[in-house]
Chain A
Amino acid sequence: MGQSLITAIRDNTGSTRSRFSKKWAKSIPFLLMLPALAVMGLFALFPVINAFRLSLYDKQLLNPGETFVGLDHYSQLFSNGEFINALKVSVIYVAGSVALQFLVGLALAALLSAQGVKGKRFFRTAFILPYTLSELVVSLIWLQMLDTEFGIINYFATLLGADPQNWLFDFALPAVIVANVWWGSTFSLLMLESAMQGIPKELYEAAEVDGCTSWGKFVHITLPSIRYVSLLNMIMITLYTINSFGIIFVLTAGGPLGSTDVIGMFMWRSAFQFMDLGLGATISTIIFVVNILITFVYIRLFGLNTLKEGA
């Protein structure tokens, strides 16, 4: 394997001393990818297919049998007011989280990439702190901070002369978005900062000669240069936000009155609270399809070339 690998690589890089047939050389990349693809196929792709199959069946977690119901679950869901509500709430939650998370990450990355700034390491460590915590810990910290009676946020509010608020009652959705953005921005920051560092200095120098302002440089050089990473980052944080609901689970459990009941929460209730695996699988299949659509929309928005740049 080692021998042939090297030879094949050499073939590819232009060497002429190959003793192997072209066919063998062609299969090299697939052999290289095989272990990774096998693991992904079994543990990542199979569950997707399984979820789709299960969505066509009535299957309760606690009962061994299953009955074929066709598309019943789908029609049932789309006539269910709570599911429609969950879709609407999800759109706001995801859009709000992703937009803020990306912008905050971008702003912090721009600050960290500014020229001549000292102590970057220190600041970056401070910015990274939230990302070192798990979802549960993040949620519980915010639960304590947002507490109406004893929370530090209300204490700060009173210091500023405002009345204490019941954040998780009157501002439930914004509150969970803020907690989520606080946690997730670091991820955007890290990806975007590294992209910014890869921009050749000459570009900026040339722009300076042309008399560009800092803002001008940011808009005309930085932003276009980090398009590919931005795309990747947005796709990733969007999918992550759709699929996760840990923060909402702890902070509001979907309430009050369904105002934070995102689709992940809804799925969890169906599958594990009420043991309806078939219904849970249907929701996850719908989420899967939505995720694919969103990915395509992003790629469209950024232009297909952005992807090619990376690929």
Chain B
Amino acid sequence: MQKMKVLALVFVMAVMTILAGCGGKSSGSGTSQNNQGGDSTAATSAEPTELTVINQDRWAPYVEKAVKIWNDEHPDKQVKLNQLVLGYPQLRQKITTAAAAGQAPDFSLIDSVWVAEFADAGYLKPLDSIDPEWVENDFKKDFYPVFVNGDSYEGKPYAIRSQTDMALIWFRKDWFSQEGIQPPKTFEELMSASKHFSQKDVQAKYGNSQGIAFPGGLKAGETTTSLLMPFFWSSGADVFKDGKVVLNSPESKAAVQFLADLVNEKASTKEVIAYEWDRATKLLATGKVALSVGGSYEYAMIKNTTGWSDAEMKEKLGFVPIPAGGSGKVATSAGGMDYVIYEKAKQPELAMEILKIVTGPELMKEFVVDTAQNSPRISVTEGLDKEKDWFLAETGNFLYDANVRPVIPEYAKVSEQIQKMIESTVSGKTPVDQAVTEAAKAISDVTGLPQ
């Protein structure tokens, strides 16, 4: 018995040692397997070129499709795709550590707000250095102007938007019409509608527990900034202007005050500061709130969570851009994920060719319709079926009113200050005046820009 145990242990250890020794070689064997397919036909020149890509789940199949299209059209220049698929939370860490170690992929998907930071560090290849013709004739002509600017840094285009989304006020259209309330177009209307649905008797009718929900703190991270920045713009405020920090203004304070008042007037709750990024609209989708500040990207999630049909969605779900504050104009923010090509890319030209297919009108249309995302291409939006894709067709028009978040290398730190400012005022911890002044100073410190 004892002997058996020892024998078993020795055997297991031997197996383990072998495994440990050969683990590293697995990539090599994988490559050779794939090569064999090409060998049989002939020519060694037809050996496929490897393209390394870092991508996200929903995006990845379209890159595969594009590579297939390319390979069908170019039998002499076959591409072998090495695509790494990660979730959003890991994307930033993976790409930055890889880039810092000189292990950059050929191209990857990144959040559009990282473009300036990566470009400033010299990690990205300007697109006009690879294909100036495409930049002139397609990029600058067919993409909404907001993206041509937003994906450029110091005058050079660095990124191609794969899809876009915008900040919206979602609301329960069916409840609104029963109560005879119009969709909110101004801050006042938004406040009164939110307060209306926070009354006890109204809540008893609809079963909701709160008027409006919005992501209000660091927990929701970047979502807080991207969805609440339009409140500043519609108030006539901004963070930067002409190389200066202009956050410390009466307009900014009015915007922050409005958000704080939503809580103070009991139209919302302090707890918004601890919301996760998708909580506010999840509450809307589960009937807990009548309005939420959300992103257009949540359409699919709402449909999925409520289980509503297309017709029901049209009937029950309302949406407007962020209502007009002091500026008198509605506003929204255009976000989205971008494809970028790295300076250290081994195959920048090939990467560009594949990206032209991935972000070309055909695949882009397929992608945005499939995932209910907005298109950054004007032609794709215009070519949508107005009946079937009514949501995308309607919201597409908002993009002409859209702004992008500040295009600066220090964006991550700036955004954190904005989130903190909102968290501390909405929770009632810091007076609006003081919080805005402090945030403006902190932003000036981290960017080195004067106030």
Using a CB–CB cutoff of 8 Å, the interface residues on chain A facing chain B are 60-63, 148-150, 166, 168-169, 172, 252-257, 269, 272-275
Instruction: Determine whether B159 belongs to the interface, using a CB cutoff of 8 Å to chain A.
Output: no
B395-426 CB contact bits vs A (8 Å, 1 = yes)? 00000000000000000110010000001100
Instruction: Return the contact of A272 from the options B96, B288, B429 (Cβ within 8 A).
Output: B96
Instruction: Return the contact of B423 from the options A148, A149, A166, A256 (Cβ within 8 A).
Output: A256
The answer on a CB contact under 8 Å between A172 and B121 is no
The answer on a CB contact under 8 Å between A274 and B217 is no
CB A116 to nearest CB in B, in angstroms, measures: 28
The answer on a CB contact under 8 Å between B283 and A166 is no
* A63-B121, A253-B218, A254-B218 known; A275 vs B96 contact (CB < 8 Å): yes
The answer on a CB contact under 8 Å between A256 and B217 is yes
Query: What chain B residues lie within 8 Å of A62 (beta carbons)?
Result: 96, 99-100, 117-118, 121, 123
* A63-B121, A272-B93 known; A255 vs B288 contact (CB < 8 Å): no
With the chains together, A149 CA to B274 CA distance in Å?
14
Instruction: Return the contact of A166 from the options B219, B221, B274, B412 (Cβ within 8 A).
Output: B274
Instruction: Return the contact of A253 from the options B92, B117, B209, B221 (Cβ within 8 A).
Output: B221
The answer on a CB contact under 8 Å between A255 and B117 is no
Instruction: Determine whether B273 belongs to the interface, using a CB cutoff of 8 Å to chain A.
Output: yes
Main secondary structure of the interface of A (DSSP, over half): loop
Query: What chain A residues lie within 8 Å of B217 (beta carbons)?
Result: 255-256
Give 19 A-B pairs besides A272-B96, A273-B412 with Cβ atoms closer than 8 angstroms: A60-B121, A62-B99, A62-B123, A63-B121, A149-B286, A149-B288, A150-B286, A166-B274, A169-B270, A255-B219, A256-B217, A257-B427, A257-B429, A272-B92, A272-B93, A273-B92, A273-B416, A274-B412, A275-B117
With the chains together, A275 CA to B97 CA distance in Å?
9
Shortest Cβ distance from B424 into A: residue: A257
The answer on a CB contact under 8 Å between B100 and A253 is no
With the chains together, A43 CA to B220 CA distance in Å?
36
The answer on a CB contact under 8 Å between A253 and B121 is no
* A172-B274, A252-B274 known; A149 vs B118 contact (CB < 8 Å): no
Query: What chain A residues lie within 8 Å of B99 (beta carbons)?
Result: 62
The answer on a CB contact under 8 Å between B271 and A166 is yes
CB B444 to nearest CB in A, in angstroms, measures: 16
With the chains together, A210 CA to B423 CA distance in Å?
63
With the chains together, A150 CA to B287 CA distance in Å?
12
Query: What chain A residues lie within 8 Å of B274 (beta carbons)?
Result: 166, 168-169, 172, 252, 255-256
Shortest Cβ distance from A172 into B: residue: B274
Query: What chain A residues lie within 8 Å of B416 (beta carbons)?
Result: 269, 273-274
With the chains together, A166 CA to B271 CA distance in Å?
8
Can you pick out 30 interface pairs between chain A and chain B where the beta carbons lie within 8 Å of each other?
Answer: A61-B96, A62-B96, A62-B99, A62-B100, A62-B118, A62-B121, A62-B123, A150-B286, A166-B271, A168-B274, A169-B270, A172-B274, A252-B219, A253-B218, A253-B219, A254-B218, A255-B217, A255-B218, A255-B219, A256-B274, A256-B423, A256-B427, A257-B427, A257-B429, A272-B93, A272-B96, A273-B92, A274-B412, A274-B413, A275-B96
CB B17 to nearest CB in A, in angstroms, measures: 13
Shortest Cβ distance from B430 into A: residue: A257
CB B212 to nearest CB in A, in angstroms, measures: 15
With the chains together, A168 CA to B217 CA distance in Å?
13
The answer on a CB contact under 8 Å between A169 and B412 is no
CB A117 to nearest CB in B, in angstroms, measures: 28
Query: What chain A residues lie within 8 Å of B429 (beta carbons)?
Result: 257
Shortest Cβ distance from A272 into B: residue: B93
With the chains together, A236 CA to B317 CA distance in Å?
53
Query: What chain A residues lie within 8 Å of B221 (beta carbons)?
Result: 253
The answer on a CB contact under 8 Å between B273 and A255 is yes
Query: What chain B residues lie within 8 Å of A168 (beta carbons)?
Result: 274
Shortest Cβ distance from B218 into A: residue: A255
Query: What chain B residues lie within 8 Å of A60 (beta carbons)?
Result: 121
With the chains together, A166 CA to B412 CA distance in Å?
29
CB A290 to nearest CB in B, in angstroms, measures: 25
Instruction: Return the contact of A61 from the options B100, B218, B271, B413 (Cβ within 8 A).
Output: B100
Interface residues of B in 100-128 (CB under 8 A from A): 100, 117-118, 121, 123
Shortest Cβ distance from A166 into B: residue: B271
CB A61 to nearest CB in B, in angstroms, measures: 5
Shortest Cβ distance from A62 into B: residue: B121
Query: What chain A residues lie within 8 Å of B209 (beta carbons)?
Result: 149
Shortest Cβ distance from B99 into A: residue: A62
Query: What chain B residues lie within 8 Å of A274 (beta carbons)?
Result: 412-413, 416
Shortest Cβ distance from A148 into B: residue: B271
With the chains together, A256 CA to B416 CA distance in Å?
14
Query: What chain A residues lie within 8 Å of B92 (beta carbons)?
Result: 272-273
CB A276 to nearest CB in B, in angstroms, measures: 9
- Among B118, B218, B273, B424, max chain A CB count under 10 A is at B218
